Amino acid sequence: MENGYTPSWFKIEEENYFYGLQSYLKNNPNKHETDFINSKIKSLEDTLKTKVDDNKKRVEFRLAYYLLKRSHLEVINKKEGRSKGVTIDGRIPNLSERYQIADSVLDIDSLIRKLNVSDKKKYQLVAIILGCDETNARHLMNGKYPGKVRESEINNYLQTLKK
């Protein structure tokens, strides 16, 4: 964390978090990351009330509880800041969906590919337009970005633009 060093326990906890999040979202398709965090906070609250007698463990649980609360607030603030007026069927379009919309409406892919500049400059332009990093822009343009597209919702949205 400091000086570029991340302790191994932190990496393990981070992997556990993302594995748990993916499992939760797979089993609960109508839920979001904030719901997962809320469930973890609730579990920690219950543990703090009933099972923790050892003082050291209590401090560790409190720290974990604090970090979860803080990350929960960060996720909420991030979503609220980005979601005002830019949702499709109540959900924020992900990067793949935004690229698909931009390409369908503005033909962005072919316009950018026609530019007489290096591929790196093309990726930088897409990154600037979509507010992502250059690597994700390259993956989008090459069709290798791993994001899922909610086809029916995006197609319905595109149809509303053509009316």
Q: What is the average pLDDT across 67-82?
A: 59
Sign of CA dihedral 132, 135, 136, 138: positive
> Within a domain: residue 66?
yes
Domain containing 74: what range? Answer: 7-83
Q: Do 161 and 108 contact (CB within 8 A), yes or no?
A: no
**pLDDT, greater one: 114 or 56:** 114
Among the candidates 33, 53, 83, a domain finishes at: 83
Q: What is the pLDDT of residue 111?
A: 87
- Identify whether residues 31 and 75 lie together within a single domain: yes
Number of domains in the chain: 2
Sorting pLDDT into bands at 50, 70 and 90, what band is 1? very low
In the three-class reduction of DSSP (H, G, I as helix; E, B as strand; rest coil), residue 107 is classed as coil
- In order of 26, 41, 48, 62, the CA distances from 69 in angstroms are 23, 7, 14, 10
Global confidence as pTM: 0.48
Between the two ends of the chain, the Cα-to-Cα distance in Å is 51
The Cβ of residue 98 has, within 10 Å, a number of other Cβ atoms equal to 20
- Identify whether residues 20 and 53 lie together within a single domain: yes
- Identify whether residues 68 and 21 lie together within a single domain: yes
Q: What is the pLDDT of residue 74?
A: 63
